[in-house]
Amino acid sequence: MKPDPRLEERRIMRVEQEGAKVMPDMVVREVPLTIYLNGQEFVTLLCTPELLDMLAVGFLRSEGLIGTYRDIISLRVDRERGFVFVETEGGRLAEKLYGKRTITSGCGKGTVFFSVLDSLQSNPVESSLKVSRDEILGLMRDLQEKARLFKLTGGLHSAALGKRDSVLYFCEDIGRHNAVDKIAGLCLRDGVELVDKILVTSGRISSEILVKSAKLGIPVLVSRSAPTSLSIDLAEKLGLTLVGFARGRRFNIYSRLDRILLWEEEQQ
């Protein structure tokens, strides 16, 4: 079987109640990925070495540097050196963002370029999507079932894009932001309409994850973890349905309750 490039085997000492022993263990690979945009070094992301091209595309879309996949003139990945070279329409788009970096609350103190204040000026997400309690919980179960590498290593976050009854894309990465950006890149490449889709994630919903969803126009964001106060404020302003603590048979709804069909409505 071909080795998984996302994994490395290391020798560890496992300490248990009965004693200690040296044994092999699988760990997740973490690598730097530097994005060069229109000939300039733009940003370095720390990530899992899979779908590097889609991670770069999704990151640029999330930061507002491209709107569609057609904005990309060329895209080249140098896996040996950990580089992605992207040429876009409009030339040196990155220059307008220099000096506007924000240190995020995410894994590894990542950097993003959006302004929360700018995001509050964005148009609210418009969608007539209605999703049932069982559909939300079903998508979360699907996410957890597909998280094979997390079960093996405990070192990854996962994200999935779903319709009401099925998962369309699934991605894992050491960073929850990266997992969402990989989903965004795949959607942009394939021209997927997002106004009737649901984004499901394993990680905490902080403001930058919420803004990524809003910029993509995804109306429902679901996590098995907690949201922050700012993410709730942004969800209310930007018209997203925000669901947290989706575990077992329960979840919490923090905004736009009208998109969630509860028991009485499901029976009608």
Helix extents (H) in 83-204: 116-120, 133-146, 148-153, 176-190
Is 47 a known active-site residue? no
Q: Which of 47, 107, 171, 187 is catalytic?
A: 107
Instruction: Output the CA–CA distances (angstroms, integers) from residue 119 to 116, 206, 208, 249, in the order listed.
Output: 5, 14, 10, 33
DSSP state of 2: P
Instruction: Output the CA–CA distances (angstroms, integers) from residue 231 to 45, 75, 143, in the order listed.
Output: 23, 32, 22
**SS3 of 61, please?**
helix
> In which residue are the tokens 């994005």 written?
35
Task: Decide: 232 and 209 in contact? Cβ < 8 Å.
Answer: no
Neighbour-count burial of 51, counting CB atoms closer than 10 A to its CB (0-12 exposed, 13-18 middle, 19+ buried): buried
Residues with active-site annotation? 107
